[in-house]
C-alpha cells in the first residue's frame, strides 16, 4: 500500500481496456467493503478503494452530516476536493487513467459532489442510493461522462424526488445519465449487481 493521503487498498488491473474503478463505501464501511463488488462488475479492472476520513460514532464516512439526510455542505466541498487530490496522487503513483467511481450511499454522495466540483477527477460514476450532495449545484461540464444511478423506490432515507433531482442536475450538466429505480430499499439487491454488470459491459 503506497503512502498516499487516504488509507486505501489498490489492486492492479489484470485486463487491458477497462477503466480503473474508484470504490467508495457507505457509512461504517472501509477500504475492503466494495472490492468484491468491483471484481464482479468489471473483472480485471484496477481497483482503488479509499477509506473515508470522517468518523461518525466510530463509523468511517467521506464527509460530515448534521443529521440523517442533512449534509455539512462546506465539509462536502472540502472532502470532495481532498478525495479528488487523492485520485490525482494515486493516478501518478500507480500509473492509472481517470477512474469511474462506484459509490454506495455516503460514497455515492461524495462521488456526485466530485462530479460537480472536480469533474476532471472522474470519467464517469455508478451512484448507488445517491442523494443531492449540494443544495446549490455548481455548474460543471460533464459532457461525455456516463453516469448510472440506481435508487430504491422504498428507500427510507432518500425521497424519490431527491434522487430524481440529482439525475436531472447531472443530465443538465451534459452527463449521459441512466437512472433506474428498483422496487427495493436502501440496501443493494441482485438486480443492482445485474444492472452494474450490464452497464460496465457496455462501456
Tell me the pLDDT of the chain averaged across its residues: 95
User: What is the reported pLDDT for 137?
Assistant: 80
Give me the residues paired with residue 55 across strands.
60
**Closest to 162 measured CA to CA, from 100, 72, 75, 71:** 71
Domain 8-201: homologous superfamily in CATH: Alpha/Beta hydrolase fold, catalytic domain (3.40.50.1820)
Q: What percent of the chain has pLDDT over 90?
A: 93
Q: Are 147 and 178 in contact (CB under 8 A)?
A: yes
Q: What's the CA gap between 117 and 120, in Å, rounded? A: 9
Domain ranges of the chain: 8-201
Residue 178 pairs in a beta bridge with 148
Q: Binning pLDDT at 50, 70 and 90, where does residue 23 land?
A: very high
For the cut 80, the answer to whether the pLDDT of residue 140 exceeds it is yes
Residues 108, 100 contacting (CB under 8 angstroms): no
Q: Is the pLDDT of residue 108 over 80?
A: yes
Question: What is the model's pTM?
Answer: 0.96
Q: Please write the tens of the pLDDT for every residue from 57-86.
A: 999 999 999 988 889 999 999 999 999 999
Nearest to 76 by CA among 133, 23, 132, 125: 133
Catalytically active residues are 105, 155, 186
Characterize the bridge pairing of strands 47-50 and 8-11.
Answer: antiparallel
Amino acid at each position: 500500500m503506497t503512502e498516499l493521503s487516504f488509507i486505501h487498498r489498490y489492486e492492479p488491473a489484470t485486463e487491458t481496456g477497462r477503466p480503473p474503478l474508484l470504490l467508495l463505501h457507505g457509512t461504517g464501511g472501509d477500504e475492503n467493503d466494495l472490492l468484491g463488488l468491483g471484481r464482479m462488475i468489471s473483472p480485471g479492472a484496477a481497483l482503488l478503494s479509499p477509506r473515508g476520513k470522517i468518523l461518525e460514532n466510530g463509523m468511517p464516512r467521506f464527509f460530515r452530516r448534521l443529521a440523517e439526510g442533512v449534509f455539512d455542505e462546506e465539509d462536502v466541498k472540502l472532502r470532495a476536493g481532498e478525495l479528488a487530490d487523492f485520485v490525482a496522487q494515486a493516478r501518478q503513483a500507480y500509473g492509472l487513467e481517470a477512474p469511474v467511481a462506484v459509490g454506495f450511499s455516503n460514497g455515492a454522495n461524495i462521488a456526485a459532489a466530485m462530479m460537480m466540483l472536480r469533474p476532471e477527477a472522474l470519467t464517469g460514476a455508478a451512484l448507488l442510493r445517491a442523494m443531492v450532495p449540494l443544495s446549490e449545484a455548481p455548474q460543471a461540464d460533464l459532457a461525455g461522462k456516463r453516469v448510472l444511478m440506481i435508487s430504491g423506490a422504498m428507500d427510507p432515507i432518500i425521497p424519490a424526488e431527491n434522487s430524481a433531482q440529482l439525475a436531472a442536475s447531472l443530465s443538465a450538466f451534459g452527463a449521459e445519465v441512466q437512472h433506474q429505480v428498483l422496487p427495493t430499499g436502501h440496501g443493494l439487491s441482485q438486480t443492482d449487481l445485474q444492472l452494474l454488470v450490464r452497464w460496465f459491459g457496455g462501456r
